[in-house]
Amino acid sequence: MARALEFTILTAARTGETIGARWNEFDLLDRTWTVPAERMKAGREHRVPLSVRALSILEEMRAHRSADDSFVFPGGKPGKPISNMAFLMLLRRTGRGDGDLTTHGFRSSFRDWVAERTNFPSEVAELALAHAIRNPVEAAYRRGDMFEKRRRLMQQWATFCTTAPAQETASNVAALRRMG
């Protein structure tokens, strides 16, 4: 269950997209996950570039795969995925599921991180989140999916998520005196 949540965070996916993920949606050689239109909120197929860490989670899950299970993150019952409550229960067990931390909030964190910590255009972030283009004129003209830009973005996001913050040392911290 923890690997499913981590995978969701790393791919900026919605909970249902991860829960319903099936092995036949993945091209591990091309490092791509293609979520079918019927499982997407906007009703359009969505290609997700996979980071190195997301791929390693898939390899880990594949090593534990039973022959009759098509779900990447199988539930307790054969042929069923994990529950849509699985992530909430996991967060509660860590002491963080009381509303201050939600699975969907990681998508929001991803969007904030792109805007505040990268130079990627807003359109790349919106495509990574599979958000629909509301402006009909813009939607008519934007036909590409900026996949290679999104591939670089998702690898940077994975690096950000999996790298511990630098520890401040006495050599680069100056004490502030109380003014006044």
**Catalytic, out of 41, 44, 62, 80:** 41
- Write down the catalytic residue from 77, 134, 141, 143: 141
Contacts 24+ apart (CB under 8 A), 154-157: 154/10, 154/11, 154/12, 154/48, 154/49, 154/50, 154/51, 154/54, 154/128, 155/49, 155/51, 155/52, 156/118, 157/10, 157/12, 157/51, 157/110, 157/113, 157/114
The answer to whether residue 80 is catalytic is no
**Residue of 62, 104, 117, 142 with catalytic role:** 104
Which of 31, 107, 150, 151 is labelled catalytic?
107
Q: Which of 3, 111, 131, 149 is labelled catalytic?
A: 131
14 is catalytic: yes
**Catalytic annotation present for 77:** no
Question: And the tokens for 104?
Answer: 């969907």
Based on the residue annotation, tell me whether 104 is a catalytic residue of this protein.
Answer: yes
**46 flagged as catalytic:** no
**Apex 40 CA angle, 126 and 6, nearest 5:** 70
Kindly list the catalytic residues. Answer: 14, 41, 104, 107, 131, 141
